[in-house]
């Protein structure tokens, strides 16, 4: 009987660890991690949210960003129409690797130029300009716990 309890305890510890590590979908992300950097994430999963993005906002907290999740990898265009502050765009492929990044200044022209990723991207992270310190090939992970 004593051996059974010890085995049951071990089973509970192992299964509890597995549950804590269970993956979550990109649409449920609350934070995005690239190397040592971590950004609180607001998810833009619908076409309407993706079109609006960060337009019209006054600013973005230093360690916050908007996480764009696309149905399939492609070359989505981004523009700065209605933006009041510059941003860094970080393009991420379906293998969760950075494929490129760019800093976009405030657009003073009409129409604003459209910026495309250098390779197909399944996800894009928008953060305050100058905050991204990674490079192409860096691993990207997301967390669903605040």
Beta-carbon contacts of 43 under 8 Å, excluding residues fewer than 6 positions away, are 26, 27, 28, 29, 49, 66, 67, 69
pLDDT for 1: 47
Q: 63-89, pLDDT tens digit by residue?
A: 999 999 998 999 999 989 888 999 999
CATH class label, 24-143:
mainly beta
pLDDT for 146: 63
Extract the tokens encoding 142. 């997301």
Contact yes or no for 22/137 (Cβ under 8 A) = no
Q: In the chain, where are the structural domains located?
A: 24-143
Contact yes or no for 60/85 (Cβ under 8 A) = yes
Q: 3-52, pLDDT tens digit by residue?
A: 544 444 333 333 333 334 457 888 888 999 999 999 999 998 788 888 88
Beta-carbon contacts of 12 under 8 Å, excluding residues fewer than 6 positions away, are none
């Amino acid at each position: 009987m004593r051996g059974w309890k010890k085995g049951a305890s071990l089973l509970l510890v192992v299964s509890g660890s597995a549950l804590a590590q269970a993956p979550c979908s990109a649409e449920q992300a609350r934070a995005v991690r690239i190397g040592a950097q971590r950004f609180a994430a607001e998810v833009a999963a619908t076409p309407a949210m993706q079109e609006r993005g960060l337009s019209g906002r006054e600013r973005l907290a230093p360690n916050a960003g908007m996480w764009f999740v696309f149905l399939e990898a492609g070359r989505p265009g981004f523009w700065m129409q209605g933006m009041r502050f510059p941003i860094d765009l970080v393009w991420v492929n379906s293998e969760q690797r950075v494929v490129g990044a760019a800093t976009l200044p405030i657009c003073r022209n009409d129409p604003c130029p459209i910026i495309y990723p250098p390779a197909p991207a399944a996800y894009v992270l928008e953060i305050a300009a100058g905050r991204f310190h990674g490079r192409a090939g860096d691993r990207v992970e997301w967390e669903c716990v605040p």
